[in-house]
Amino acid sequence: MTQSKPLVGVRVVEFGTLIAGPFCTRILAEFGAEVVKIEAPGEGDPLRSWRKLYEGTSLWWYVQSRNKKSMTANLKHPDAVAAVKKLVAGADIVVENFRPGVLEKLGLGWEVLSALNPGLVMVRLSGFGQTGPMASQPGFGAIGESMGGLRYITGFPDRPPVKTGVSIGDSIAALWGAIGALMALRHKEVNGGQGQVVDVALYEAVFAMMESLVPEFDVFGFLRERTGNVMPGITPSNTHTTKDGRHLIIGANGDAIFNRFMKAIGREDLAAAPDLATNAGRDARAAEIYGVIDAWVAAHTAEEVLATTAAAQVPASRIYSAEDIFRDPQYLARAMIETARLPDGREFRIPGIVPKLTETPGSTEWLGPALGEHTDEILAGLGFSAEEIRKMHQDGAI
């Protein structure tokens, strides 16, 4: 197996902060792209100080910016803008997640950059996209999740909508951004195409994941509502609590799986019931079925339940905490928990790389860099002399 990476030779410039843009470039960097992250001098990405800090730096930062290079540039200084233009002129991809119009005001909009580099692919992640009446409005992932339809159906029917435990809207948008960038590169390489803009709106990124929401409303006037842990219209799939207080997910909604599960828990009568042989029949008796499963799970420990479901080949799992993940042999077998070192040498764990490529796998080469760690190196590579770089530092351009 070769250890090369599929994006080696691809150069990416990131004008991004926090989540959507930086997560998009993180994916590219993990698979070999050279990613230069542009950060404001003295400040940097706010993510550097978000959530849990270790000696003043966010642990999230070390993961989100792994394999990237950090270059500081004051984008309000003409010398910095000139240097960044020179950098972009030799790049394949630019990723940015500012509000539409911000880069244009800095003299770094699409028209300017594409004139410098006609083959450039520019990924633009924003709340509402580059066009439309809301384009200029600010929009974070939470707004995208709300407007995209996800928040409305998340939670229990007798309570207000709830969020997922992570910034899922930003992350979904980042994935679409990476996919779009790779499609645009493919177009250039195979079809002889020019560069183009990949326009990703956070609300549209979420909306694209909403399954059959649109046609069901249009054809039947069906308005999907919050249903808690039940998978609406697909039975049985739910959360259950064991005798020892653990919460488990059991998904026995396949026809053959349901039959095996009912036999495994001693309900041959339900396994043999003709009307329960298909999902439509089970869904009509969902309350009864869930009552049976709830009672059976509550009479057993988590270990007993999972042993039974495993033997019957029924999909089931504990609802994992971070502690569960650290101990899980499946995670460990697939290298999803990596060991890295903090700047002071302390070992710590970071998530592994997704997806797994058999011939050209991604990897962690280094963790999120110090602010401006690669500025001088990058400028020197662009042809700036040591004296020019020194003066740019002195003038506050970098």
Predicted confidence (pLDDT) per residue in 43-56, tens digit:
899 999 999 999 99
DSSP lists the bridge partners of residue 317 as: 249
Q: Residue 31 and residue 397: Cα distance in Å, rounded?
A: 31
Residue range 7-14: mean pLDDT, rounded: 98
Q: Do 314 and 342 belong to one domain?
A: no
Read off the pLDDT of residues 311-356 as tens digits, 9 standing for 90 and up. Answer: 999 999 999 999 999 999 999 999 999 999 999 999 999 999 999 9
Report in angstroms the alpha-carbon separations of 25 from 41, 58, 151, 191: 20, 18, 26, 24
DSSP 168-197: HHHHHHHHHHHHHHHHHHHHHHHH----EE
Residue finishing a domain among 295, 320, 345: 320
Burial 311-320 (b: 16+ CB within 10 A, else e): ebebebebee
Q: Do 114 and 258 belong to one domain?
A: no
8 Å CB contact between 162 and 226: no
Residue range 82-93: mean pLDDT, rounded: 98
Q: Residue 164 and residue 28: Cα distance in Å, rounded?
A: 25
Task: Tell me how many domains the chain contains.
Answer: 2
How many Cβ atoms sit within 10 Å of the Cβ of residue 294? Answer: 14
Q: Do 143 and 195 belong to one domain?
A: yes
Q: Report if residue 215 sits inside a domain.
A: no
How buried is residue 102: exposed, middle or buried, by Cβ count under 10 Å (0-12/13-18/19+)? middle
Q: Report if residue 1 sits inside a domain.
A: no
DSSP 308-331: HHHHTT--EEE---HHHHHH-HHH
Q: Residue 322 and residue 315: Cα distance in Å, rounded?
A: 21
DSSP label of 266:
T
Domain CATH code at residue 114: 3.40.50.10540
Q: Report if residue 275 sits inside a domain.
A: yes
Q: Do 35 and 118 belong to one domain?
A: yes
Amino acid 19: pLDDT:
96
**Tokens encoding 120:** 């450039």
Read off the pLDDT of residues 348-398 as tens digits, 9 standing for 90 and up. Answer: 999 999 999 999 999 999 999 999 999 999 999 999 999 999 999 999 999
Q: Give the position of tokens 């049985």.
A: 236
Q: Report if residue 229 sits inside a domain.
A: no
Q: Per the residue annotation, which of 170, 244, 255, 294 is the catalytic one?
A: 170
- Tell me what the pLDDT averaged over the chain comes to: 96
Q: Do 315 and 338 belong to one domain?
A: no
pLDDT at 198 over 60: yes
The SS3 of residue 398 is coil
8 Å CB contact between 237 and 250: yes
Strands 337-341 and 316-318: unpaired
Read off the pLDDT of residues 216-254 as tens digits, 9 standing for 90 and up. Answer: 999 999 999 999 999 888 999 999 999 999 999 999 999
Q: Do 314 and 346 belong to one domain?
A: no
Domain CATH code at residue 274: 3.30.1540.10
Q: Do 184 and 278 belong to one domain?
A: no
Determine whether 170 is an active site residue.
Answer: yes
Report in angstroms the alpha-carbon separations of 140 from 99, 134, 161, 167: 10, 13, 17, 9
Q: Report if residue 372 sits inside a domain.
A: yes
Q: Report if residue 220 sits inside a domain.
A: no
327 contacts: CB under 8 Å, gap ≥ 6: none
Q: Do 170 and 66 belong to one domain?
A: yes
Q: Residue 316 and residue 239: Cα distance in Å, rounded?
A: 10
Amino acid 1: pLDDT:
39
Q: Do 51 and 102 belong to one domain?
A: yes
8 Å CB contact between 204 and 210: no
Q: Report if residue 254 sits inside a domain.
A: yes
pLDDT at 2 over 70: no
Q: Do 142 and 281 belong to one domain?
A: no
Q: Residue 63 and residue 207: Cα distance in Å, rounded?
A: 27
Residue finishing a domain among 257, 289, 320: 320
Report in angstroms the alpha-carbon separations of 103 from 26, 65, 155, 341: 21, 22, 38, 36
Residue finishing a domain among 320, 344, 376: 320
Per-residue pLDDT band for 3 (boundaries 50, 70, 90) equals low
8 Å CB contact between 372 and 393: no
8 Å CB contact between 50 and 13: no
Q: Do 173 and 45 belong to one domain?
A: yes
Supply the range of the domain harboring residue 112.
11-209+334-395
Q: Residue 232 and residue 23: Cα distance in Å, rounded?
A: 31
Q: Report if residue 225 sits inside a domain.
A: no
Q: Do 310 and 351 belong to one domain?
A: no
pTM over 0.95: no
Per-residue pLDDT band for 192 (boundaries 50, 70, 90) equals confident
Q: Residue 226 and residue 159: Cα distance in Å, rounded?
A: 9
Half-sphere exposure of 247 (CA within 13 A, CB side): 6
Residue range 300-309: mean pLDDT, rounded: 98
Half-sphere exposure of 39 (CA within 13 A, CB side): 28
How buried is residue 3: exposed, middle or buried, by Cβ count under 10 Å (0-12/13-18/19+)? exposed
